[in-house]
Every structure is written in structure tokens, then in C-alpha cells.
A = this chain, B = another copy of it.
Amino acid sequence: MQNYHPVTPQIIESLIKLLGRENVISGTEKLCDYSHDEYAQDDICHYPDLVVRPADARQISLIMKLATEHKIPVTPRGGGTGLCGGCVPTLGGIVLSLERLKKIIEIDKENLMVTAEAGVTLAELYKAVEAEGLYFPPHPGDEGAMVGGVIATNAGGARAVKYGVIRNFIRGMEVVLPDGEIIEIGGKLIKSSTGYSLLHLIIGSEGTLGIVTKATISLVPPPAAIYTLIAPFANLNDAIGAVPKILTGKVIPMAVEFIDREAMRVTEQFLDKRWPSDFGQAHLMIILDGSSEDEALALAQKVAGICLENGSGEIIFADAVDKQRTILELRSKSLDSLRKNMLEILDITIPRARIADFVRTTEQLAVEMETWLPTYGHAADGNVHTHIMKARWKNGVWTEIPGWREKYPVLMKKIHALGKSFGGVISGEHGIGITKKPYMEDFLGKRQIALMKSIKNVFDPQSILNPGKIFSEPD
């Protein structure tokens, strides 16, 4: 265990001098905003001693030099939209918010790349990029997430099937290392085999190896046409069974989501909007893009045919933008509609062909343990979001699940063990943060954890940068 030092009044004075008084926050009330992320339970909240809001990499470098000198923990923070406590300052010290690094530095239409600072939100990024006639395919659910944060977690989202996750789009980075040195990795480059990929090592490292302050990100030409299909199936087995048929049917959709029709009723009530089909228990939401209207339509018809052959009920075609938006909104807000009565959203990722088996087994577990485990996720990615609940929804009414407190740790253990037995990993897109730490060794084994800890030690020998995340600290 590291012995960290306190944030002294002298250090606060130095930071005020560096950043201006308005960018050094120490009042208890304001600190609350920086004490948590979107994880559902309050008990992981932890107040920092101080929040700093630097303007650029140079200021961040000076903060890290100060933190290194005085051995103070620093927790970087983006949009705070994480789901496992990755930006919570567990050990106190300084929260370093990237919220002021908001510049979109360049949209390079010749190279099809955007260079943006870490504090740019996804919503801002989509808007700026689309205004220039380009397209950024990944769509992690919450558009309030920031560039730095989606890199830190290697975020995914629904649109990862055809185009891939955040990792596939990051080409260059400016990174402030724990000791304050600023390095530039990669650039406007599509390929590189120039030594170990520090780029890919830092992507997904949850802000524990360095602070990403700027990124150069690949874009693609926008699809000429996008269709959304809803294919309703009698049960999940049939729905998931259709997915490999779609993929081997020479179609790679942008997204294939599976939806629990029952859980969707919660979201319908929450948003007061209607999901377009009532048939069956499990639906596939399939997004298809094409290089022309004709191609998108042909793909949609092909996919519809495959779904019908595999037992789908009447398929809903959404081509109008507003209809597609309503469907996407209902899917995106599913988490919000469950959150208030939720303990945790899991993020286990297994081989995609095994989703139906996995979900069926968790459903049996729910019956056995008299609980409710509403589940949706990314069918073509194998990324299953099982929700552990403290209340059950039925016909518009929430009822507390008896013994949910005692059932919670048992369910966490059992469902993760199940994920492991299916050849899965703990997280497909949310990261490990604080809440998934207990399962790391079981999934990865002692040696992989030891390698990761030693890599952490290479970058951050004092363990001051986002300590207490991913795995327990070096002894």
C-alpha cells in the first residue's frame, strides 16, 4: 500500500496561482459533483480533497509534477458517465477534471480525421463532424461522455458491429504521464508497426497510465442511407439464433441489439413512448447502412427475409429519421429507466453465438433466487448487459425484491462465474473501475494481473494516477 500525502494549504495556493481561483474547487457542496459517476449505488462515492480544472496539457503537466513531488493521488475525470466508478477519487487527493479542454482543433477532410481535446463530449463531436460531411461511427450510449473518457474505457456501444469500438478509430494522442512529461503518440496515421503500441496500451487503461489530453480520431464518409429494423421473436433463443445467419448471410449490420420486450415496457412507461412491436418476448433491433438508398434497402430486405425464415414475427422497417430516432431513444434510455431500482449493470462479454444460452441460464438463476434480471445487449458483439435489481417491475408497478441485499453479492459471483465458464471477459465496454475489481484475478489469472501491475509501475512508480482502479495496487 502506498502512503499518500495530504493536500496542504501551500499546495492549494500553488494550484490557485497556476489555474486561477475559479478553477480550484474545494467547497464540500461542489465537490459532491465530482465524487461519483453513473454507477447506481451511493456507497462508492468518495469526495476528493480538491478539484482542479486545468485549461490545457501544459497546466496538467505542472499539476502532475506537483502531485509527483508531494505524492498526492490524482484522479482524472471526463464526463462522469462511467458505470463502475473509474473516475471516483477512492483515495481522496485531487480530481483533475478535463471539462475545460473543449477545443475541436481540426477536422481534416483530406485525411478524414478529427483532432479533439479530451473534454469534448460525444454530442459535440458528432455535431462538429457531421457539419463537415463526415461520420464518426462508434456510439457509446451516453452522448455526455467525453473523448478522454471513451478512450480510457475503450467504449463500444451499439454501432460497433461493422465499424468496431473506439480503439479502432484512435490514431494519435497527446498524453501527460504521471511525472508530468507530455508525449505525442501516433498521429494522422492509419497504420503503424513502430515499436510496442503505447497507443493501444493506453486505450482502455482507465486513466491509470497517463492522462489523454488530445486525440486524433479517424472518421468515415457518412452512409448514404440508414435503415432500422425491429424483428420480434417469440423468445430469445430464436432471436439470438438468427444473428449468425444474418452475419453469414453476407451482411454486416452497423448494430444488432437484443431487447427484452418485458424490460422495454419499463422504458416505454419512463419515456411515455411506444416501442413499435408487441409480438413475442425478444426483439432484435438491427441498424443497416448502405452506400446508396438501393443498397440499404436491399440489405434491409435480405435481413428481414433471414429473420422471417428464422421465426420472426412481422418486421418493422423504420426509414424515416424521426421513427429511427424514437427507437434508438427507447433503446438508449433503457438503462435510465431501470437505474432507480437497480444495483448494478453487468458488462460481461462472451462468444456471440452463446448469448441465448447465457441469458437462459441467468433467467433460470432469477427464478431460483426469486429476483428479476432484465437483460439486453449487443447481440452481434456478445456483450450482455444483465441488470441486478432491487425491485421488480410488473404492469407499471415496482415491487421491492425480498432479500435483494443478500442476493446481490451472490448474484454478482454466480453471474461472473457463468461468464467465465462461457469463455468470457468481465467487461466489453464499461471497464473495471472499482466495482469489477474483485473478479479480475479469477478471469485473467495471477500472471496477467502481475504483468498489468508491473506495467502500471513502469508508468507510475508512485502510483499517484487514478490509484485503486482495475486491480489492487502494487504491494
Contact = CB atoms under 8 A, between A and B. Distances in A.
Contacts of A191: 156, 160, 165, 349, 378, 381-383, 428-429
A190 B194 CA distance: 25
Interface string A280-292: 0000000000111
A198 B449 CA distance: 10
Contacts of A155: 193
A414 B221 CA distance: 35
Q: By CB atoms of chain B within 10 A, which of A167, A196, A222, A224 has the most?
A: A196
A260 interface: no
B425 A189 contact: yes
A168 interface: yes
State how many copies of this chain the complex holds: 2
* Majority secondary structure, A binding face: loop
A247 interface: yes
Nearest to A248: B221
Interface in A185-209: 185-198, 200-201, 203-205, 209
Interface residues of A, number: 97
Nearest to A246: B221
A425 B160 CA distance: 28
Interface string A240-253: 00001001111110
A349 B195 contact: no
Nearest to A208: B196
B353 A252 contact: no
Contacts of A449: 195
Contacts of A53: none
Interface stretch (A72-80, A106-114, A120-128): A106-114
Interface in A377-428: 378, 380-383, 423-428
Interface stretch (A36-44, A314-322, A453-461): A453-461
A352 interface: yes
Interface of A: 108-113, 133-134, 153-156, 160-161, 164-165, 167-168, 177, 181, 183, 185-198, 200-201, 203-205, 209, 220-224, 244, 247-252, 290-292, 294-295, 298-299, 347, 349-353, 378, 380-383, 423-432, 440, 443-445, 447-449, 451-452, 454-456, 458-459, 470-471
15 contacts: A111-B244, A133-B248, A160-B190, A189-B349, A189-B423, A189-B424, A191-B378, A191-B381, A193-B431, A200-B201, A220-B252, A221-B250, A222-B250, A251-B291, A292-B298
Given A134-B248, A183-B448, 14 more contacts: A112-B244, A112-B248, A164-B164, A165-B191, A167-B200, A177-B447, A181-B447, A183-B447, A188-B423, A191-B382, A195-B449, A196-B205, A197-B200, A221-B252
